[in-house]
Structure 1
Amino acid sequence: MWVAPRHLAGDDDTLADLVGAALTGAGWRMWPTARQTLLYVSPDELCGAEWVRASYPFALGGLPVAWQITARSHPAGTMREWNAYFTGGTPPEAITDFLTALDARPEPHAPFGGPETVLDALTGQGWYRDIDRPHSAASDPGFTASVSLEAVPEHVFDADPRPDLPGWQAWAEPVPGTPLWCATFSSSTPHDLVAAFAASLASPIPVRRKLLPEGTDGHLTLLPPI
């Protein structure tokens, strides 16, 4: 079936397979690790994407992190410039579009654009800026999902050591107090990459699903086959 909106469509329990297929299709190499995770590395060896759900590194909104995406400034470097984390339930289309934008960048660590880049990507597709934080937060028309620039959880790593630096956070919560999915980007994650995720998240184009997530009754629209 085809459903909308995308941000409430869930991951169809195929988040590992769909994102992994997109990465291997783009030429990323993959191997299993000793921690029972799957590690993908970009052809230029600057970016990594790891399916970490089995190792349960930490939780966001009470949900285990499923994908961790990182970038370095040099192939031989060990320092990760920034990290992005996605829990299960995150629409795979949004993660894939984030990775496509990352893969197209010659310097994945370099800053580009500002917070308005992310907010414009959302409001351009019908989301609303937060009335109290118009320059740092936006919500979907049904107020079931938000993207905001604010303090990140303590386990989120970034190369910039300064304390209390804000990073982008996104989540969907069709049932108050019960997140469907969460995503967090450390403070040095380039705004244009977050904007690619946000634009995909807010896209009005329906997505195909076999399974509908719990708690979305009355929020999802089922559409005829395209």
Structure 2
Amino acid sequence: MEAPLYPDFPLVPSTPSGGQPAFWVGPRHLAGDDKRLYDAVADTLTGLGWSSLTIVRGRDEPDGDRQVLRSTVLHISPDTLRWAQWCLPDEPFYLGELPIAWQISARPGTSSPLAGWSAYFTPDVPGEAVADFLVALDARDQPAVPFTGPEVVLDAVAAHGWLRDIDQPEAAATDPTFTSHISLGEVPPLIQDGDPRALTTSADEAGPAGWQAWAEPALGARCLWVASFGSSVPHELVAAFAASLSSTAPVLRRVLPEATHERLLRAPAI
């Protein structure tokens, strides 16, 4: 018998029961992940032809039971240049006091075993936004090479009514309710990136800038979700995420976040 170390974070979460009523919900950036973040992303990767494998590591107890210590679901693209790891059950580190659920990485070529960049998403990041990020990543011939500047990210959210920051109009924007934000700045600790400056920056120097996005339902409250992109993530990929996140199109939900429940517009799904 195996006893999961993190019973609240199942290895492969199941879809919520069909007995709950479904609603079309907006705005998307406050709608959460419907408790289906694994399923939404994994279904997208399967549709793209990515393969998956499950890695389970544990230890045998004296009574004969086997305790699962770490478990990972890894999805790999056909060319092996990009991969996505469901790491919520695997002793995740935290962003904004929230555990990392998905880590998505890419490398420049098969000659290097190391990731050129990584992006991280906590629970309640809308699954549609992570899926659109992955679709854009899958479509690129060179997943680790940027082709445009950071302005494409802010243009993507501004097209959906988000407001550029008055003090940093070229580096930050927020939704009209000042709840969700996206900003280009120093990345948090532990964010993996292939930029060598990330390894040589001293403690009193600013490191390479990367995109960060988050939703803060109330001033000073715990974030609803956080997404962090290493400094080498191509801006076009962040723009794909940002465009989907800020989209005004409603999303289908059965489970709504408690922190934003009263701020969502809902219409029954018929």
| Corresponding residue number in structure 2 for 1:217 | 261
| Corresponding residue number in structure 2 for 1:141 | 176
Q: CA deviation at 1:33?
A: 1.3
4, 7, 12: which one aligns with 2:34: 12
Distance (whole Å) between structure 1 residues aligned to residue 248 and residue 48 of structure 2:
25
| Corresponding residue number in structure 2 for 1:118 | 153
Residues 125 and 202, structure 1, Cα contact 8 Å, conserved in 2: yes
Q: Does 1:33 align with 2:48?
A: no
Alignment of 1:41-120 (within 5 A): 41-120=76-155
Distance (whole Å) between structure 1 residues aligned to residue 159 and residue 24 of structure 2:
23
Distance (whole Å) between structure 1 residues aligned to residue 267 and residue 161 of structure 2:
20
Q: How many residues align?
A: 226
Q: CA deviation at 1:223?
A: 2.1
Residues 56 and 65, structure 1, Cα contact 8 Å, conserved in 2: no
Q: Does 1:174 align with 2:212?
A: no
28-37 or 93-102, which deviates more: 28-37
Gaps of 5+ in 2: 1-22, 57-69, 202-206
| Corresponding residue number in structure 1 for 2:232 | 188
Paired letter, 2:94: A
213-222 or 148-157, which deviates more: 213-222
| Corresponding residue number in structure 1 for 2:186 | 151
- TM-score, with length taken from structure 2: 0.82
159, 165, 190: which one aligns with 2:208: 165
Q: CA deviation at 1:76?
A: 4.4
Distance (whole Å) between structure 2 residues aligned to residue 111 and residue 184 of structure 1:
17
Q: Does 1:202 align with 2:250?
A: no
Paired letter, 1:8: L
Comparing both chains, which one has the higher relative contact order based on Cα–Cα distances under 8 Å and sequence gaps of 6 or more? Answer: 1
Distance (whole Å) between structure 1 residues aligned to residue 112 and residue 52 of structure 2:
19
Deviations 1:153-189 (A, max 9, x none): 1100111121300100000111332100000000000
Distance (whole Å) between structure 2 residues aligned to residue 38 and residue 202 of structure 1:
28
Residues 174 and 219, structure 1, Cα contact 8 Å, conserved in 2: no
SS at match of 2:263: coil
50-59 or 118-127, which deviates more: 50-59
- TM-score, with length taken from structure 1: 0.97
Distance (whole Å) between structure 2 residues aligned to residue 223 and residue 139 of structure 1:
25
Paired letter, 1:192: E
Paired letter, 2:252: R
Distance (whole Å) between structure 1 residues aligned to residue 30 and residue 261 of structure 2:
10
Distance (whole Å) between structure 2 residues aligned to residue 175 and residue 32 of structure 1:
38
Deviations 1:73-122 (A, max 9, x none): 11242111000000001000000000000000000001121110000000
Structure 1 residue ranges (4+ consecutive) displaced by more than 6 angstroms after TM superposition: none
Deviations 1:113-166 (A, max 9, x none): 111000000001100001111000000011110000011111001111213001
Identity score, percent: 54
